[in-house]
Structure 1
């Protein structure tokens, strides 16, 4: 995995890519959201985790989806006070259509609710329909997301 440190700060904004995958991972500290929104060429569709995180230890988490990219975090910044870091997994519409996006969000919420030793702000786990032709895509993407979270040091989500 290649990690780009924006501003050369390991605790700042990070953009991550895995060779051969189109998925882009963006780690955004809450206080750097306005700077992150100015980054060029960041895809808009994907799922994200809002974390109450302290040196890799997660106390609380919320999982969601977006078709607005980093701009989606604006409403969470004003409505959800608990988070200090967002980790987003973004791609374009051709690789992550609405069915895949809904299924990934459901997988993320379900995983957080069953594997986490922390509070979650997700009250329900959605049950979207997933075409049998897209099941492997969803599984592959979810596995990649869990791998990336582990590499980034968020061991409570893997």
Structure 2
């Protein structure tokens, strides 16, 4: 059963686009998000002059993957002056340090390597890091402490608007206490991340997530788009082709990686190349439509045939 977390965000000048300080309740870590044009103000923040890991982010514009860079330093405020001169892409930095003095150079190098690995696995951003940094050697107790630190970094980054470490597809959390209900809810979650759509000799796989709908790698898309599909879909496919995220294969297109889109209907239109209803098109492995699952969820009926409790 997932445990709730509380994150406190302090707006230094009462604006959501300015410098923000974030902390997780009962965590010794801390984060500072600072716009590039406000770097000069970091000198007044001692939190930015400690050993820390930091992430440079490009603003998310359109459907392209934004750029990011992950680094470490014993004094991030000083390091950022170099990045301000040599790296053009970024517009904000998020710094993670510790409230105490227990985060050492070895720790931040370990964190840097781990964060780069997780960001590459999540594949939401195009990393400017040339290679995965070497992971420093830590005692087992310290490695466990850093694993917890990384999990907290993931939550704080997401809260600040940067889900760089979040997998596109994650089994929805279960909040049931009865063991039987937990099993059924888990199966429901699995069915929503294992959906299929077949049309005109094309086969696609997808998943419902909290953020929208994920078209999975290997899904086949129509090369032709009718007027009913809309110009947005055609332009989106052209952009994905240009970025190498879609490849051409015979008479159709194939996704080269998982792609997050706004809805199941948008995903169905991308596959078919014509207007489609996503809830009617996507089918679970046991033959139910996504609409059937959604209708039962709204009505309170258990999707696997178990009577709803009153």
TM-score normalised by structure 1 residue count: 0.89
Larger Rg: 2
C-alpha spacing 1:17/1:93, structure 2 compared with 1 (3 Å): closer
2:102 alignment partner, SS class: coil
Residues 46-125 of structure 1 mapped to structure 2, 5 A cutoff: 46-54=52-60, 59-91=66-98, 94-125=101-132
CA contact (8 A) 2:23 2:156 kept: no
Deviation of 1:12 after TM superposition, in Å, equals 0.6
- Which of 119, 131, 135 lines up with 2:143 in the alignment? 135
Report whether the alignment pairs 1:152 with 2:160: yes
Q: Which runs of 5+ in 1 are unaligned?
A: none
Bigger mean CA deviation after superposition, 37-46 or 23-32 = 37-46
Give per-residue Cα distances to partners, 1:71-103, cap 9 Å, x unaligned. Answer: 221111011010000011012673212222111
CA contact (8 A) 1:30 1:84 kept: yes
Q: CA RMSD in A?
A: 2.0
CA contact (8 A) 2:115 2:165 kept: no
Deviation of 1:50 after TM superposition, in Å, equals 0.3
Aligned position for 1:9 = 15
Q: State the structure with bigger RCO (CA 8 A, min sep 6), 1 or 2.
A: 1
Q: Which runs of 5+ in 2 are unaligned?
A: 1-6, 167-310
